[in-house]
């Protein structure tokens, strides 16, 4: 926080308490008081200038982070910390730059120092959690997120990050609960809805998973993987025609989506629409000639169609 200017009258009030030798002449005493006052004003001005410079450097560093100029941002935060080694915002900025540069140990060190200086810095705790999670330390990461939530339980991003970490630990029920909290706080949180759909599918709670993906495609109609996953859930529910329509939407958005074409072929095969399924697998192989499953499925269907034709003769 920038230092607030101290009023001159307050400085003079402080000087009243300065003990002077009893035998010092009045003029000399006033001269000493004037010198003390001048030195205090110089110190105050210097402190304010340094504080303002640090604030300016922190803003500059954050702007560079936003522009993805990470090395430059790191250099600016180092300058700020050279002036004020205990500036929490500069430490958080430095940690973030290290984090995006995948220098996780350095990021963790910066964030830990920030939390030591300000135990109520949500940004520092969240940054620490992210760096710990990405350095494969999920349990300490959860503790960091919990520290952040103890300060602000209504931060949707923290609940989302906590859910991701719980997923790494395969604590799926808790993961769902974390995403539930995130989307309750921010109903438009597309990524939370998407991850929620994934974990619910793992738990075979397909109807709920479908509801999650419905939210995603409503919020992001051009998100290919959401349409594919929506199709997969419909497939699991044996709603094959609807699954195909979902894959078709994905293909409209991304015509060379290997997964969408492959899954479309599988759904068509389950409806015994073999020729269309073969065509879908052929398209899959054009996109990726090394897709062994597509080749195997296509060849199997070709044999099946041949067999049916022979039986029909």
The pLDDT score that the predictor gives to residue 47 is: 43
Measured between alpha carbons, how far is 308 from 313 in angstroms, rounded to an integer? Answer: 9
State the pLDDT at residue 31: 55
Residue 143 belongs to domain spanning = 60-153
Question: Quick one: pLDDT at residue 50?
Answer: 54
**Domain membership flag for residue 86:** yes
Final residue of a domain: which of 130, 153, 176? Answer: 153
Residue 295: both structure tokens together? 């080749």
Q: How far apart are CA 164 and CA 129, in angstroms?
A: 11
| Residue 89, in any domain of the structure | yes
Is residue 105 included in any domain, yes or no? Answer: yes
Residues 6+ apart with CB under 8 A from 137: none
Query: What is the structure's pLDDT at 32?
Result: 47
The per-residue pLDDT for 312 is 76
Give a yes or no: residue 295 inside a domain. Answer: yes
Say yes or no: 231 and 147 in one domain: no
User: Domain of 307: which CATH number?
Assistant: 1.25.40.10
208 falls within a domain: no
Q: How many angstroms separate the CA atoms of 62 and 96, rounded? A: 9
Count other C-beta atoms under 10 Å from residue 281's C-beta. 28
As given in the structure block, the two tokens for residue 278 are: 């073969």
pTM to 2 decimal places: 0.79
- Cα–Cα distance, 216 to 102 (Å, whole number): 29
Look at residue 186 in the predicted model and tell me its pLDDT. Answer: 98
Residue 176 lies in a domain: no
Split into its structural domains, the chain has a count of: 2
Query: pLDDT (tens digit, 0 to 9) for every residue of the chain, 313 residues total?
Result: 332 322 233 332 333 333 333 344 444 544 545 554 455 544 434 444 455 699 999 999 999 999 999 999 999 999 999 999 999 999 999 999 999 999 999 999 999 999 999 999 999 999 999 999 999 999 999 999 999 999 999 999 999 999 999 999 999 999 999 999 999 999 999 999 999 999 999 999 999 999 999 999 999 999 999 999 999 999 999 999 999 999 999 999 999 999 999 999 999 999 999 999 999 999 999 999 999 999 999 999 999 999 998 887 6
Cα separation of 225 and 303, whole Å? 32
- Indicate whether 197 belongs to any domain: no
Residues 219, 160: Cα–Cα separation, whole Å? 17
What is residue 5's predicted lDDT score, i.e. its pLDDT? 28
State both tokens at 263. Answer: 């899954």
Distance CA 285, CA 299 (A): 12
Question: CB atoms < 10 A from the CB of 265, how many?
Answer: 28
Last residue of a domain, one of 119, 136, 153: 153
Decide which of 153, 179, 195 is a domain's last residue: 153
Q: Does some domain include residue 172?
A: no
């Amino acid at each position: 926080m920038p230092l607030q200017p101290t009023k001159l009258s307050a400085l003079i009030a402080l000087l009243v308490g300065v003990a002077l030798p009893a035998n010092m002449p009045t003029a000399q005493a006033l001269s000493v008081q004037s010198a003390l006052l001048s030195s205090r004003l110089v110190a105050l001005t210097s402190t304010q200038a340094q504080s303002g410079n640090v604030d300016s450097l922190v803003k500059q560093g954050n702007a560079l982070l936003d522009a993805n100029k990470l090395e430059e941002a790191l250099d600016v935060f180092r300058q700020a910390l050279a002036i004020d080694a205990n500036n929490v915002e500069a430490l958080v900025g430095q940690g973030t730059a290290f984090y995006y540069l995948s220098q996780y140990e350095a990021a963790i060190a910066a964030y830990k120092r920030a939390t030591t200086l300000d135990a109520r810095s949500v940004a520092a705790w969240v940054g620490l959690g992210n760096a710990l999670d990405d350095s494969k330390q999920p349990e300490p990461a959860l503790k960091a997120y919990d520290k952040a939530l103890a300060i602000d339980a209504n931060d949707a991003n923290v609940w989302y990050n906590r859910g991701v970490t719980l997923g790494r630990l395969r604590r799926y029920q808790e993961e769902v609960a974390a995403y539930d909290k995130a989307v309750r706080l921010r109903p438009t949180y597309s990524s939370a809805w998407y991850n929620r759909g994934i974990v619910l599918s793992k738990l075979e709670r397909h109807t709920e998973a479908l509801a999650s993906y419905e939210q995603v495609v409503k919020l992001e109609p051009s998100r290919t993987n959401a349409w594919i996953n929506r199709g997969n859930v419909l497939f699991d529910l044996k709603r094959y025609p609807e699954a195909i329509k979902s894959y078709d939407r994905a293909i409209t958005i991304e015509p060379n989506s290997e997964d969408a074409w492959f899954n479309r072929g599988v759904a068509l095969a389950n409806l015994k629409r073999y020729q269309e399924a073969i065509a879908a697998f052929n398209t899959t192989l054009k996109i990726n000639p090394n897709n062994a499953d597509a080749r195997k499925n296509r060849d199997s269907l070709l044999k099946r169609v041949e067999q049916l034709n022979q039986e029909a003769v």
